[in-house]
Amino acid sequence: MTRLAALSFASLLVLGSAARAEEAPRPIRLNQTGLEANGPKRAVMADSAKTALDWTLLDASGAVVASGRTKAFGDDAASGEHVHQIDFSAFRKAGDGYRLRVGAAESRPFALRARPDGRLTRAALSFFYQQRASVPIEARFVERPDLARPAGHAPDKATCFDQADERGQVWPGCDYTLDASDGWYDAGDHGKYVVNGGIAVWTLVNAYERAAVLKRPGALKALGDGSQALPENANSVPDILDEARFELSFLLAMQVPDGKTLKVPVGKQKPVDGKLALTAIDASGMAHQKIADRYWTGLPTAPADDKQVRYLYYPTTAATLNLAAVTAQAARVWKTIDPAFSARCLEAARRAFAAALRHPDIYQLGPFTGSGGYGDGDLTDELYWAAAELYVTTGDANAEKTLRASPLFLASPTAGTRSTGDISWGSVGALGTITLALAPNGLKPAEIAQARANLTASAGKYLSDDIGQGYALPYAAPGYPWGSNSSVLNRAVVLGLAYDFTGEIAYRYGAVDAMDYVLGRNPLDRSYVTGFGARAMRNPHHRFWARQANGAYPAPPAGVVSGGPNSTSMGDDVAKTMKGQCKPQTCWTDDYRAFTQNEVAINWNAPLVWASAFLDDTMR
């Protein structure tokens, strides 16, 4: 391990992610990891007063160093509270032990930082190493010895599902076995999914590509070789790309070999008498949707103790387009780093793109007991994204034709359809526009400018949402969905890019607001990231980081983000008791059983890495 990587985990040990007693909630809420000395500084307090209140800022000695009046925001629908906002951005002296006071209410002590420390970026990226399949997680690369574990699913070989599903339909299987070792476990379970892997890989690689294209030396160093505690951290390759490549290895392995005929459901079907109509197709070049257990494993279960039979589940157009998109992206990013790997990725991208055009309507029509579905009935966005990545990498005329024919051409994340809504595994249209706006390509300068303008317009909409929220975050919704924290963090990605494109500081401040919410400025006075903050999440829904369920298992490492409040899909036993009893931002419990609220996932941690790296890189 390099000295830098060792230092990074020494710093994480100081956090004491599971050892210290949890503090009681405080009435004044703010980012529990501290604030930027030269950046925006806001706190929120719930109070019934209709008019502004006096506030004071105290230093570590108790002296008053700043004062002002709160903004009486009023009733806040998302939190159910009557709130006041405290803005003390004008005070810029770095230091520790500051406290805000309003009447008898006082915040816990906090720091004002003059420069980034990089801890959150390193910890958030370490999550992916600790989700790796097929290899042991070594004690020398993690913050605590109890987080080390033997390899699970080593090797991870499977043939196609050939059993009866829960409808009683017997699937025909296939005549081959794939070695789909490596990759990341998707979330709290042991499944590995191409669709969710696609957006997670893209986000990590895009964080690097942003730094490389915009020539950001600080970000390149923070994400570079030796920045992480990884087995590969001294190979002259940026560590963030080493981590992404581990998942790409799995994704490449999920591609159907040439010459294979499979029976799959074609088109948007509804089961007739419990059965789907299966059609034989040439599946060459398509991607299997997932590799997963036949049945759900118990909780907790260490990966090495998972004895379930694993299967490949039939290929889908969505998985195939995800594969095409991320391997096309990888082909250009690795072109000079590893030309042979770049060529392999480009070949896979071209095969997958051709297969998806040949079979545009093969949908995930599960469910299958033992794994998540990731079903998506609108693939317009996946096709646009894959075409954009392939075009930027190769200039391919067919990709350009598909790109320009798409109704999403240059569309922003707020274009008004599910395909271009908040970035998520099922809404990837904006990823294509981001790539066209950021990476050098053959579009006309006016078109690239339009892509940037559309993304900036979305960022402006997010700032408008920010103004309308009592807790001042760039997100507004009548209900908070499953994984709401990832929606907030993905908005931080768009806000960050808008800042990069325009230099307008308001967009960066919006990204700060998003991070402040996730790290404690919320009505629960919770940091949703393990190990960061006085009241950090501790009990994720996870089969290995499961100390709450069984003391023989470890508590989670630092840097893992919870899915967050969920008021729209309250299906677990904990959430069911809260249904109709909580406001959107408060529908959350730190309980391992609350999988709809407190699971973790690769596509949620990826924008945490991106946003944290961006904020560190642009801190003044």
Are both 57 and 153 inside the same structural domain? no
**pLDDT value at residue 269:** 94
Residue 81 lies in a domain: yes
4, pLDDT greater than 60: no
Cα–Cα distances (Å) from 184 to 134, 249, 316, 338, 562, in that order, read 9, 10, 20, 22, 17
Residue-range definition of the domain harbouring residue 99: 38-113
Q: Give the domain-ending residue among 68, 83, 113.
A: 113
10, pLDDT greater than 70: no
Angle in degrees, 0-180, between the axes of helices 194-213 and 239-253, rounded to the nearest 10? 150
At residue 570 the predicted structure's pLDDT band, cuts being 50, 70 and 90, is very high
Q: What is the mean pLDDT of the chain?
A: 95
Q: Give the domain-ending residue among 113, 136, 153.
A: 113
Write out pLDDT tens, residues 140-160.
Answer: 999 999 999 999 999 999 999
Residue 158 lies in a domain: yes
- Which pTM was predicted? 0.96
The amino acid at 544 = F
Cα–Cα distances (Å) from 466 to 42, 284, 366, 460, 586, in that order, read 12, 47, 38, 10, 18
Number of domains in the chain: 2
479: left (phi over 0), alpha (psi -120 to 50) or beta: beta
Quick check: 571 and 596 in contact, CB under 8 A? yes
Domain harbouring 413, CATH code = 1.50.10.10
Are both 200 and 306 inside the same structural domain? yes
**Taking residues 474-503, what's their average pLDDT?**
97
Write out pLDDT tens, residues 357-402.
Answer: 999 999 999 779 889 999 999 999 999 999 999 999 999 999 999 9
**pLDDT value at residue 9:** 41
3-state SS class at 268: coil
Residue 586 lies in a domain: no
Active site positions, annotated: 189, 541, 590, 599
**pLDDT value at residue 415:** 56
Are both 85 and 138 inside the same structural domain? no
Percent of the chain with pLDDT over 70: 96
Are both 156 and 294 inside the same structural domain? yes
223 burial type by CB count under 10 A (0-12 exposed, 13-18 middle, 19+ buried): buried
Are both 125 and 103 inside the same structural domain? no
Residue 595 lies in a domain: no
DSSP-assigned letters across all residues of 164-214: B-TTSPBP---S-EEE--SSB--SSSS-EEHHHHHHHHHHHHHHHHHHHHT
The secondary structure element, H or E, covering residue 43 is strand 42-46
**pLDDT value at residue 7:** 35
Question: Phi and psi (nearest 5°) for 255?
Answer: -80, 135
**Taking residues 40-66, what's their average pLDDT?**
98
Are both 63 and 193 inside the same structural domain? no
Cα–Cα distances (Å) from 21 to 397, 533, 536, in that order, read 60, 12, 11
Write out pLDDT tens, residues 427-486.
Answer: 999 999 999 999 999 999 999 999 999 999 999 999 999 999 999 999 999 999 999 999
Between CA 97 and CA 61 the distance in angstroms is 8
Write out pLDDT tens, residues 407-426.
Answer: 999 998 875 555 557 999 99
| CA nearest to 480, candidates 563, 413, 414 | 563
**Taking residues 305-328, what's their average pLDDT?**
98
Q: Which residues contact 58 (CB under 8 A, 6 or more apart)?
A: 64, 65, 98, 99, 100, 101
8, pLDDT greater than 50: no
**Taking residues 548-570, what's their average pLDDT?**
98
**pLDDT value at residue 22:** 80
Domain harbouring 62, CATH code = 2.60.40.10
**pLDDT value at residue 1:** 32
603, pLDDT greater than 80: yes
**pLDDT value at residue 367:** 76
Q: Give the domain-ending residue among 97, 113, 129.
A: 113
13, pLDDT greater than 70: no
**Taking residues 516-528, what's their average pLDDT?**
98
**How far apart are the two ends of the chain, measured CA to CA in Å?**
31
Strand partners, 177: 159
**pLDDT value at residue 271:** 85
202, pLDDT greater than 90: yes
